[in-house]
Chain A
């Protein structure tokens, strides 16, 4: 009988371990398509053990409309070519040619899914161009598009590694690990992640010595290219103004320890909880399928917020304030996840960026709670998590609004019960750009956005001493 109980305990423990393994699953799989005009990523879905993609995700960024159903056939047009697919069939007809799709066509909620490997024949025949598919890495190059780089290593007392790229690059990273475009995965290893650039290399590994910079490896995985530089210390990364050169040097010990240094190599992010420095979590609202408000034509709120977020990041950097972005590409991040990441990483302040009608100027929102009393127990209710930081959120909102007013902008401040502000345990504000009157193109004004970003950054810098205190 006792053995039976032990066996039961073992099964329960094994089940819990399994659940833990599932909860820490790998990031979502994605396919990245590079063209001469644009680069974009789309989610890869697992259907019956096979990788599938949605046809609309693959073709709409290239200008195709969503597939339409006619006489049991799904039809989509692109580049004056017509593709016809049938649910359950593994063949498609394009320009009169029958193509093998390497698997059945599936339809889910009016979305046509095709095997990921079918992207190669579909794009080749629809666009009438050569397509290169790095299938294991899920990277697809349309036409002769590519970007290359050279590496120059300088040894000595001040070693450095200079990377020259054939086009401007903007290294990107995972949502939770990105620090100013640079991913620090380990104290002696720095990884630059390239999602948008069609970076390729004929050499996989280069050796430089056994000092601060020892080797560099080029790899491809999950729709992105990675350059991993190994050495025996943290590296400081500097990107040139034209974005074509990246220089890596060993970081000074003081810089690595100083949270206010503004260095891009301030600290390791392999354990975000350990990082207790002040940083701003910038949230460009919406993204991916969540387009936000549509301002007519191709002007969408998700794009306006991302541009403003990048501008704000730059302005904060200039003031020596570290920042992280909840998204730096067109990806969908669920509302609750935005709050979870901000809370887990213990941000100094969370700033959500929005754009919308009506009116003009800028609106600064602070959280509004039904019950602003701070919880007395150890557990904080999710819906009321902001109660512990509400006063500091209001102080930050006032500072940002005041700075915007100083620059002659029309500013309204409001307390609203908007997600995910109420779920965040650190000071949190939302800033919404309104158009200048009826001029919706004002959302794209570089000068206006730079002014707004500058005012937000200055407001945060001023309020930092007030809002920096942690609960």
Chain B
């Protein structure tokens, strides 16, 4: 005959083991959930404030030789430089999808943007943006016009835009469109209107 106090002790021990098991299982699940979220390889950047915005981007359509405004939901930071960069990337995202209305090479991206004063923006692009760009007057001008017009519409106060490739000046985008000059946004308005 097992003594009563021993039975009670064993019951309490089993209960403790059961509770411990449940707690351990819960902790394990939480750890796994955290480990899934953890491997974000993005560089550590300061927290930026901003919000998701519904903007219009000017998209080039090769088949129609036209530029058309299209809506896009983009997270736009409050900082003016970051806002310009994200706006330009929203245009490139349209061209990098498959199928694309105006195909660009994979890797075409905006490395960085710099403001000179308040009204002049220097846009530094990746090598793939220029090296892999299809050659032709119309194709190259449509790319630049769509970028500058979208920028002008979503980042007020930009009057001049200059493009660099991997931090350096280049004569042309792919043999035709001028990359040495500063593009005046008012002149590009006129060009974009001709494409619309």
Give the interface of A toward B (CB within 8 A): 286, 290-294, 301, 335, 354, 356-359, 363, 365, 368-371, 383, 412, 414-419, 422, 430, 432, 434
CB-based contact A369/B141 at 8 Å: no
- Given A359-B65, A359-B138, A415 contacting B175 (CB threshold 8 A): no
The residues of B that contact A357 with a CB separation of less than 8 Å are 62, 134, 136, 138-139
Q: How far is the CB of A72 from chain B (nearest CB, A)?
A: 27
**Which of B134, B137, B175, B187 is most buried by chain A, counting CB atoms within 10 A of its CB?**
B137
B130-147 residues at the A interface, CB under 8 angstroms: 134-139, 141
Distance between B11 CB and nearest chain A CB, rounded to angstroms: 78
Would B190 and A363 count as touching, CB distance under 8 A? no
B194 touches A417 (CB 8 A): no
B135 near A358: Cβ-Cβ < 8 Å: no
Asked whether, in the complex, the Cβ of A419 is within 8 Å of the Cβ of B178, the reply is: yes
A412 to B66, alpha carbons, bound, how many Å? 12
With A368-B191, A419-B172 as contacts: A293 and B141 at CB distance below 8 Å:
no
Minimum Cβ distance to chain A for residue B159 (Å): 10
Q: Which B residue sits closest to A302, measured CB to CB? A: B175
Do B136 and A358 have beta carbons less than 8 Å apart? Answer: yes
Contacts of B54 in A (CB 8 A): none
Chain B interface residue count, CB cutoff 8 Å, equals 26
Contacts of B31 in A (CB 8 A): none
| 11 A-B residue pairs with CB within 8 Å | A290-B175, A301-B135, A301-B175, A356-B135, A356-B137, A356-B138, A370-B184, A415-B194, A416-B191, A419-B178, A434-B138
**Closest residue on chain B to residue A357 by CB atoms:** B136
Instruction: Assess the A354–B176 pair: CB atoms within 8 A.
Output: yes
A contact residues around B137 at 8 Å (CB): 354, 356, 363, 365, 416, 418, 430, 432
- Contact A356–B187 (Cβ < 8 Å): no
B184–A418 touching, CB < 8 Å: no
Please measure, in the bound complex, the distance between the C-alpha atom of A395 and the C-alpha atom of B65, giving whole angstroms: 24
B residues less than 8 Å from A415 (CB atoms): 190-191, 194
Q: A286-B175, A335-B172, A418-B137 are in contact. List 13 more A-B contacts (CB 8 A).
A: A335-B171, A354-B137, A356-B137, A357-B62, A358-B62, A358-B65, A369-B187, A415-B190, A416-B141, A417-B187, A418-B141, A422-B178, A432-B136
Question: How long is the Cα–Cα vector from A422 to B180 in the complex, in angstroms?
Answer: 12
Q: Do A418 and B175 contact each other (CB < 8 Å), given the known contacts A293-B136, A301-B135? A: no
Number of A-B contacts (CB under 8 A): 81
Q: Is B40 an interface residue (CB 8 A)?
A: no
The answer for the CA separation of A412 and B178 in the assembled complex, in Å, is 21
Query: Chain B residue with minimal CB distance to A413?
Result: B194
In the complex, what distance in Å separates the CA atom of A79 from the CA atom of B58? 52
Chain B nearest CB from A250 CB (Å) reads 45
Contact between chains at B138 and A363 (CB < 8 Å): yes
Which residues of B are found within 8 Å of A434, using beta-carbon distances?
138
Give complex CA distance A422, B181 in Å.
11
Tell me whether A414 and B191 are in contact (CB under 8 A): yes
Residue contact A417 to B139, C-beta cutoff 8 Å: no
Residues of A within 8 Å of B79, CB to CB, are: none
CB–CB B175/A370 < 8 A: no
Contact A418 B135 (CB under 8 A): no
**Complexed CA–CA distance, A166 and B136 (Å):** 41
Q: How far is the CB of B128 from chain A (nearest CB, A)?
A: 17
B177 within 8 A of A: yes
List chain A residues, Cβ under 8 A from B134: 293, 357
* Given known A-B contacts A356-B136, A356-B139, A358-B62, A292 and B175 have beta carbons under 8 A apart: yes
How far, in angstroms, from A418 to B186 measured CA to CA in the complex? Answer: 16
B183, CB-defined interface residue at 8 Å: yes
- Which residues from 142 to 196 on chain B have a C-beta closer than 8 Å to any C-beta of chain A? 171-172, 175-178, 180-181, 183-184, 186-187, 190-191, 194-195
Per the bound structure, the CA–CA distance linking A292 and B184 in Å amounts to 26
Question: Would you call A358 and B139 a contact (CB within 8 A)?
Answer: yes
Contacts of A414 in B (CB 8 A): 191, 194-195
Contacting residues, chain B, for A358 (C-beta < 8 A)? 62-63, 65, 136, 138-139
The CA-CA distance from A416 to B63 in the complex, in Å, is 19
Q: Which residues of A contact B175 (CB under 8 A)?
A: 286, 290-293, 301
Known pairs A286-B175, A335-B171; A417 contacts B183 (CB<8 A): yes
